Structures are given as C-alpha cells and as structure tokens.
Structure 1
Amino acid sequence: MEKPTISPKDLARQLRQPQGEDGLRIGQAMNKSNAAIYDMVLDFLGLKPRDRVLEIGFGNGHFIPALFQKQAGIQYTGLDISDIMVEEARKENSARVADGSVQLHLGKTEEMTFAAGAFTKVFAANVLYFWDKPDVALSAIHQVLEKGGELILAIRSAESMRQLPFSEHGFTLYDVEAAEALLEKNSFAVAEVITAVEDVKTPQGGGSTVQLENICLRGIKI
C-alpha cells in the first residue's frame, strides 16, 4: 500500500471521522487494515435469520455484503458520523438500499433516535476508542437493543495499539479488563471474550511493521 502523506495527528482525525479526499483514501485503506478484525467479528456475531442488526461506524460500507453472505435473512442498519462515508456506503450497497434490507444513517451513537428495542444485535469494530463519553454511548445502545440483545465490541488491545503513532491523538485505549468493566458498568453482562493476533503488517501511516492483537467482547443487555 502506498504510504499516505499525512501526519499521525491528521491520520487520527481522519480515522475518527473521514472527510474530503484524504477521508476517501483513508476509507479505502481501512478496508484492508480492518479485514482481519472484520472476519473475526463476522464469525463472532452468530447471525440468525430475522436478526435486526445495527452497525456503528460502517465506514464506506465495504464489509456490509459479507454480513449477508453469512446470513441472507437479516435486516441491517448502519450509523456513521462521516457524511462522505455514508455517501460511499450508499453507492457500494445501492441494490440493498433500494430493496430496504440495508438502511444507512448519518449521526452519532450518543444521539441516535432509533426505537427502544429496535435491534437484536449491535456491533462496532474499531470504534470504542473514539467515544468521548462511552457511558452515554453505551446507554444509547442499551436503549435500542431488545431485552437479552447482544452488543459485540471489537477493538485492538491497548498494548498493541501503542505501536501505532496515531493512537496518541484522541484515542482512548482499552485492555480486556477495562473493556469488560466498562460494559458491566453500563448494564451489560459480558458473556464471552475472544482474542486473536494478526499477521505482521505495515500500519497506516507507514513506519515499522506491527503485530496487532484483536479483541471481541459479547455483552448481553440486562
């Protein structure tokens, strides 16, 4: 991958909320850099027919078709804070947007207005770091999940994220214990945690190769 000519601080800002031409390029780069963690999430979700799924932070929508390959009979809703990512995702998934199986929305987790109990499952991959008020975000997710519904959070461990210079700018990092404590504090019972180490790779922004540890947590609404 060609190294982007962007500072760690600007890269961090774009990863949080892609904007402009740089944001489009970062969105494409994330499709590659997030492939391993999305594969992990897709298996961990355990999708079932008629699941009503909300993804928070879907980026350019590149991975949405993979959910339907896992389970065709789902209803997918996406929420993202980047207007250009919403636009790109609508283009990439235009047929499913047209038939109503995919709905894509611009907005913040903390301010979402979906109906109470609207979803059976909510998931977010590499998003938790950016919630400035995680208790508020998790309260909003708790509200839109049905009773017993599942929240799947996928993150990279704090230790492995510290290998990445951009993580010093606006990222809140978590290890397994901190992420579990956060969920339990906000009325989720942590039912399962899995971890996996990715292959060595060159990170976004260039620099030395890194090996990242991925974490998936399953929280049950209580």
Structure 2
Amino acid sequence: MKKEMTETELREMEIQLGRPSGELGIEIGEIMNETNTGMTRNSIEFLDLQDGNSVLELGHGNCRHLEKLLETANNLCYCGLEISDLMHEEAQRINQEIIANQKADLRLYDGLEIPYSDNYFDRIMTVNTIYFWKEPIKLLHEIGRKLKPNGHLVITFAQKNFMKNLPFVGQHFTLYDKGDIDKLVKKSKLELTEYLDKTEVVKSKAGESVERFYSMAKLTKK
C-alpha cells in the first residue's frame, strides 16, 4: 500500500508542480510527463498543425513529447519556453539531437515576455500551466502579439471542480472553469472559437487513480 503523503510533502509538491527544481524536480518532471500524456496528445491534435507551421509551447516540462509533436506535420518549427531552469535543462538533454538538427529552439523566460518577434507563430499551446500564470491578462495580450493573424492558441486545463479536491492543490494554484476562461478571454484581443471537453482516468501526482475532467480552449487572433 502506498504511504499517504504528509502535509509538508503535499505543499512541497505544490511548489514543485509550478516550478520544478532540484533532485525532486527531475522526478516531478517525469511524473508530469506521464500524467499529462493524454492532455498533451489531445492538445497537439486540437492545434490542427499544418505543414510549415511555427508552434510555440509555454511550459513544456521535460518535453518528452517533442518527437511525437514534430511527426504531426512536415517542416514544423517548434519553440519552447520554460520558467524552470531544471525543466529547460532536462528538455535540452532529452531532445539534444532534435535541437542539434535545428528543429527546435528551447529558451527560458520570465512567464510574461515572450522573446520572439510579433506575428511570429501560427500556433501556440500550453498544458496545465494556466494555474500558475502570475498575470494572465498581460500574458494573453503578449500571446496575441506573437500570434499571426488567424493563428490559434490552445489552453488545456483541468476543471476547477476536479482540481479543488486534489490534496496537493493549495494557494499556489489559481483554478479555472470554462466561465472563468470566458471572462479572461473577453479582456484580451483574442476570440474564443471552440471548446473541447475530455475525461480520462490517470494516476494523480499523489499516486492515486483519479478520473480527470479537463477542457481545451481554442482562441483565435482575428
């Protein structure tokens, strides 16, 4: 039987999920990759990548999914941004051959300013990061500037009613339901064009099997 996590361990996990670091951070990165596999795969499909697209991912973690993403269309240009030094380093290590072949550009950023030219990306995606956005309106404005006209942003997030019952979710998380996302988007220059809801059974970060309810919101720059 798996030992139940202490309150101290749960709070440490909460911090690590927002910004993995140290030895525990490497383990957390692998756990996130495993538990987010379905969400990431469906987000990539929902992006509707086309040949030659430039795609940006915010908060890619250890980025073990990169090879699969690059197989979804021809001549994709992938850029990835991380706030975690450790995840940036792990992603570079895991994908060193892809990077050496100049098929991916991985950088650190501050969570607010995207270090690329305006109107640069056809597609932008982010999975399970919105809970940790410090200034969501400002970041949405920044994303809007970096998207090309008619470009898409996909935000994938677990529903508030699901997240609030997880033992490691505390004050470091800002939780959202679709109504919250609607309000957020209305304050930006992006247009909410489609939602896709999914349910899956996964092993939670605390080691328990749970039924996860999540949504993918597609926003378009008009």
Q: Once the two structures are superposed, what CA deviation does each residue of 1:51-90 show, in whole Å capped at 9, x if it has no partner?
A: 1000000001111111112123210000001111111111
Q: Once the two structures are superposed, what CA deviation does each residue of 1:150-209 show, in whole Å capped at 9, x if it has no partner?
A: 11100000001112122223111110111122122211111110001112x4411235x4
**Which residue in 2 is equivalent to 1:115?**
117
Distance 1:106 1:156 in 2: 25
Answer whether contact 1:79 1:108 (CA < 8 A) is retained: no
**Which residue in 2 is equivalent to 1:216?**
216
SS of 2:75 mapped into structure 1: coil
5+ long unaligned stretches in structure 1: none
Residues 22-37 of structure 1: pairs in structure 2 closer than 5 A:
22-37=24-39
**Which residue in 2 is equivalent to 1:205?**
206
**Which residue in 2 is equivalent to 1:178?**
180
- CA offset at residue 4 of structure 1? 9.4
**Which residue in 2 is equivalent to 1:53?**
55
**Which residue in 2 is equivalent to 1:156?**
158
Distance 2:3 2:177 in 1: 28
Identity of matched residues, %? 29
SS of 1:212 mapped into structure 2: strand
Distance 2:128 2:212 in 1: 12
> Please, what TM-score do these two structures have when normalized by structure 1?
0.93
- CA offset at residue 112 of structure 1? 2.1
**Which residue in 2 is equivalent to 1:87?**
89
Q: How many residues align?
A: 219
Letter in 1 for 2:148: E
SS of 1:110 mapped into structure 2: coil
Q: Once the two structures are superposed, what CA deviation does each residue of 1:68-122 show, in whole Å capped at 9, x if it has no partner?
A: 1212321000000111111111111111111211000011231222111111111
Distance 1:68 1:158 in 2: 31
Distance 2:181 2:192 in 1: 10
Q: Does residue 1:9 correspond to 2:11, yes or no?
A: yes
Distance 1:4 1:10 in 2: 14
Letter in 1 for 2:219: G
5+ long unaligned stretches in structure 2: none
Answer whether contact 2:33 2:63 (CA < 8 A) is retained: no
Distance 1:171 1:92 in 2: 28
Distance 2:35 2:207 in 1: 12
Q: Does residue 1:130 correspond to 2:129, yes or no?
A: no
Letter in 2 for 1:215: S
Letter in 1 for 2:205: Q
Distance 1:29 1:123 in 2: 20
Distance 1:67 1:203 in 2: 24
Structure 1 vs Structure 2 CA RMSD? 1.6
Partner residue of 1:106 out of 101, 105, 108: 108
Distance 2:197 2:37 in 1: 15
Answer whether contact 1:47 1:71 (CA < 8 A) is retained: yes
Distance 2:55 2:105 in 1: 10
SS of 2:112 mapped into structure 1: helix
Q: Hey, which bits of structure 1, 4+ residues long, moved more than 3 A? A: 2-6
> Please, what TM-score do these two structures have when normalized by structure 2?
0.93
SS of 2:172 mapped into structure 1: coil
Distance 1:145 1:164 in 2: 34
- CA offset at residue 3 of structure 1? 6.9
Deviates more, 1:163-172 or 1:117-126: 163-172
